[in-house]
Structure 1
Amino acid sequence: MFELVEPIATVTFSDAVTEAFLALGMRNYWDGYFAGRAAPLGLAPAEVVHAVFYNFADGEVARHIPWVWGKTTPEEAIAVRERASAAELRRRIGDLADSPGLVRVADLATRAAVSAPTEGRGLYAGLRALDVPEEPVARLWHAANLLREYRGDGHNAALVAHGIGGTEAHVLMALALGMRPEEFDRVHHLPEPQLSAVVERLRGRGLVDAAGGFTAAGRDAKERIEALTDELAAPAYDVLSADELDELIAGLEPIAAV
């Protein structure tokens, strides 16, 4: 489900959506990213957004929050993000947007997306408080975004349970992709001493070897975190019968593949 939902939800990080935020007075991609993604939390301070988003380095959120709220409001950011994301999804999927089955897929995805428990899921709970769009393509994007953030909140819980901090998670992701941390886009801009200190902490815990790669314990820890993340994401789909879940998967596959 992650592989089917992720391509739909992440159209919100596209150039088209960034341009919509630039039109509001945002300075760059990251202003729009933080305004759009944090908007369901309201006028939360940077410290709260940092905690909920989890994996940004110290100080990164504060470069955008609360500055963006001097240019727009959370309500406007939510509306702009939804409108631009739906338009981009429609553009990408072409004729599928008007196909008879899209309404059914959007309905099934939405049933799952609004059915999951909100306890301990701060960002998901904020999104659940929003109105569900009526237009099918917008509703599908909204559902995918809900499901993505539900899984993301669970992923953060899994990281906390395993004692992995936010920047550490990005370093481990870089290693899993066969990259050095300084090559990974989420942390490559951090000062070299800061990145080295993160790697050294992971090495001290036996998760990273002397050459900067995974140890067996590091690979095992990452696999356990990913497995727990999947387990924590599963309750969102419990509301669907086996046949309905199969129908949702079949309907999402051509959309996610575009």
Structure 2
Amino acid sequence: MTHPPEKVRRLFELIEPIATVSFSADVDRAFREVGMRGFWDGYFAGRAAPLGLAPAAVVHAAFYNFADGEVARHLPWVWTRISPEDAIALRERASATALRDRLGAVAEDAGLRRVADLATRAALSAPTEGRVLYAGLRAIAVPEEPVARLWHATTLLREHRGDGHIAALVAHGIGGLEGHALLAASVGLTLENFGRTHHLPESELAAVAAGLRRRGLLDGAGAMTDAGRATKQRIEDLTDTLATAPYLALSAEELDELIAGLEPVFAAAHEQVPLDA
């Protein structure tokens, strides 16, 4: 049994604002209260914590899309202020609280537990081989409370998909910053005005763009070529294919039930948590 790719893609869209509540101002504030110096300290402490005290180089490899040296500005320093175990607990607690606040009455809906249970069954079912961040999260105990359980499940599904997306990028010879460049170009931006890369040195951004021009993926103005669009589409299609595995634990009827159950959660969470957070 498999599931239609458009449904797998829709699930990606639905879970994204639920999982990325972890990158919201509320969770950032919770990390700052224990000594983090800014957003990125909390980001790396929370997201890398399932990997334990892994060196910055290992986290850089697992996260894939950060420039050289960016991870090392935060790791291992954050572990002088909080342990990985405490960071995991803090992130879960603060994320569940933030999500509950955003959901309002939806958080009290009797059907939320069923949605959380379906998402959790899917999230715990996929193979971990080659999925470093997903495997790290799988080692963490699953919360019982429905909102926290749903956040945990969507975070697992997001990292599973992210690990697969990295595999797709590697298979197509696209580096982390090059992936940002293609995404930026697809929405009419350049690396210089794209949110995740605008702060990097101009020389580094110019080198990335030049490499993509040599390969025919960007044109002289930095816009995506037909070859660039085709490459990006192949990467997205492969990412969707690789993201299907968790949902194979659900029947077609259960998958539709999960999608329907996530729609009101998405609507409430999406109001305040952007997809690209």
Task: Tell me the TM-score normalized by structure 2.
Answer: 0.93
**Aligned-partner residue type, residue 215 of structure 2:** R
Partner of 2:250: 240
1:193 alignment partner in structure 2: 203
- Are 2:88 and 1:78 equivalent residues in the alignment? yes
Q: Which residue pairs with 1:221 in the alignment?
A: 231
Q: 1:180 Cα shift?
A: 1.7
Distance in 2 (CA, whole Å) between partners of 1:210 and 1:177 is: 17
Alignment of 1:141-220 (within 5 A): 141-220=151-230
Provide structure 2 residue ranges, at least 5 long, that are not aligned to the other structure.
Answer: 1-10, 269-277
Displacement of 1:69 in angstroms is 0.2
Work out the CA distance in 1 between the residues paired with 2:223 and 2:108: 47
Partner of 2:145: 135
Q: Residue 217 of structure 2 aligns to which amino acid in structure 1?
A: L
Tell me how far apart the structure 2 counterparts of residues 216 and 204 of structure 1 sit (CA, whole Å).
14
Pick the aligned partner of 2:51 from 41, 49, 52.
41
How do 1:65-104 residues align onto structure 2 when only pairs under 5 Å count? 65-104=75-114
Equivalent residue, structure 1, for 2:20? 10
Amino acid at match of 2:153: A
Residue identity matched to 1:14: S
Out of 126, 147, 171, which is 1:116 matched to?
Answer: 126
In the TM superposition, residue 96 of structure 1 has moved relative to its aligned partner by 0.9
Task: Work out the CA distance in 2 between the residues paired with 1:202 and 1:246.
Answer: 40
> Hey, what does 2:274 align to over in structure 1?
none
The amino acid that maps onto 2:17 is P
Residues 117-143 of structure 1: per-residue CA shift (max 9 Å, x gap): 101000000000000001110000000
State the alpha-carbon separation in 1 of the partners of residues 183 and 259 from structure 2.
Answer: 27
Name the Cα RMSD after superposition: 0.5
SS of 2:188's partner is: coil
CA distance in 2, matches of 1:155, 1:239: 21
Counterparts of 2:225 and 2:108, CA distance in 1: 49
